[in-house]
Chain A
Amino acid sequence: MCDYKLSERAYSKLIFHAAKYPHQAVNGLLLAEKSSKGSLVEIVDAIPLFHQCLYVTPMAEVALMQIDAYAEREGLVIGGYYAASENFYENQIDKTPATKIADKIQENFKNACFAVVDNKLVTLQHDRPAIQVYGCTSESGSGSTRWSKAKFTLAQSSQTLEGVSLLLKRGAMRDVVDFDNHLDNPENDWTNDFLNQSLNDLQKLY
């Protein structure tokens, strides 16, 4: 099983998405660098997917295919899945919505990770990363994938956490766009290009 490294871009988009819809479950994909350096997988970006009706599949199929093509174009690969439960206290992996998507991703990318957002830790003052990352340890031939806790690091940890906290206080999460927003209005850009600047630059905007 690998260790994972999350970029500030991926972490901030993930948290903003969860913070934008505090009363609903959200999920999304994580994009990783194609080649892993040794046993370290670098998660470079996050694409928020849905905030309503996570359990039906057609839009998920459409999104996965489009994002696959997008990742290919950017030289990345779909390397993981993240989700946040609707209920504040639920942070176990089996209660998290739509785990089937994570299983599917793992089929395509052996070292895929599953990041579960710990709702209690998504605060206006982050002390530590508000996620638990799981990697896969399935033995070949077994029926279902087994996820177990993996080690992960956040790029430039303290600065990222501070930056994200500040932006949350200033309401930056309202501008993050997920695939659901795109389906409601094609003008919305689910790649969240404007959030691809560094956290420092974003802080100047808000």
Chain B
Amino acid sequence: MSLNYEEMSWSDVRDQFRKWREENTRHSEEVVQLWVAVLEDKVHKTGNERHLILEQVIIAALDTARFDIATQCTKQLAVEFPGSLRVMKFKAMRYEALEQYDEADEVLDAIIAKDETNAAPRKRKIAILKARGRRVETIKELNEYLKKFMSDQEAWHELCNLYLAEGEYGKAAFCMEEVLLHNPHSHLIHQRLAEIRYTMGGVENVESARTYYSQALKLNPRNLRALYGMYLSCNFLANSRAVSSKRKELQKLASWALEQVAEQTTKQSTIKNNDKLILSLEAALGNLEIKSN
């Protein structure tokens, strides 16, 4: 998405920032560019949103190593809110961005000492451990954190990713199930959980994967990953020692899934003969089936 900086007025930029804040997406480079080009001079016009925008710009500036902008904005906030723990957190994040992890840890410990119920500095400490590459310690600390702040689904998601990186698929599945409890209607979480189960392998796990994939498809019939996953799991189950009646059903499901994939992809794909590529899946996996009629 390329944004035309010359045409955007400050209110357009403000709306765009709001959209990115709500979606919680990472557009650090664009935020910084838009800030410098448009919003910096006009930010006093944004009223109550000003502080949220300043925070957004600080984080984006730290992400893109624009420490001058980050320091300037942090000063503005510090002047308005002296002694605020929220502003202190940004001071710690600046140390973190400069890779001065020990200083950052000190500031964060000070914040935690002042307010034990504040979740944000604890998470930053865990992020520092991750940045230092100490994955095992990170997992341990994150587990401790989750014992106290059990409903933080962002943290469960992060723990899931860490376990996946360590190869602990069972524990990763547990974490993802916690995320699912908070988002029972999210087709993406169902699909992610299915992927983890499929990766674990074995008939039971792939059965479980198939049910999660079906739920994902019920929630969003156009989820391409779920369709592919459905195809893979049905094929696997059909070729394992399944009862013959179930086998026919699974094969039908598998070919339905692959047809859906082919239909959706070829309608929009710009790759030449994409359907042939998809059919290659059939050739690779389908040949394994033992014909029984």
Contacts and interface: CB of A to CB of B under 8 A. Distances in A.
Given A56-B195, A58-B198, 15 more contacts: A56-B164, A56-B198, A56-B199, A59-B195, A65-B284, A66-B281, A68-B284, A69-B276, A69-B280, A73-B276, A183-B225, A186-B264, A186-B274, A189-B270, A190-B271
Interface residues of B, number: 39
Nearest to B277: A66
A192 B29 CA distance: 24
B46 to A, nearest CB: 27
Contact of A56 (B196, B264, B285): B196
A189 B271 contact: yes
Contacts, number: 83
Interface string B154-168: 000000010011010
Contacts of A58: 194-195, 198-199, 209, 225, 228-229, 232-233
Contacts of A186: 224, 264-265, 267-269, 274
Contacts of A174: 2
Contacts of B198: 56-58
Interface of A: 23, 53, 55-59, 61-62, 65-66, 68-70, 73, 87, 89-90, 97, 174, 182-187, 189-191, 193
Interface of B: 2, 26, 63, 130-131, 133, 161, 164-165, 167, 192, 194-196, 198-199, 209, 224-225, 228-229, 232-233, 264-265, 267-271, 273-274, 276-278, 280-281, 284-285
- Interface of chain B, main secondary structure: helix
Nearest to B130: A87
B277 A70 contact: yes
Nearest to A90: B133
Contact of B269 (A59, A90, A189): A189
A77 to B, nearest CB: 14
A89 B133 contact: yes
16 contacts: A53-B164, A53-B192, A56-B164, A58-B195, A58-B228, A58-B229, A59-B228, A65-B281, A66-B277, A66-B278, A70-B277, A73-B273, A87-B131, A186-B267, A187-B268, A189-B271
Contacts of A184: 224
Given A90-B133, A186-B264, A53 B161 contact: yes
A55 B164 contact: yes
A186 B2 CA distance: 21
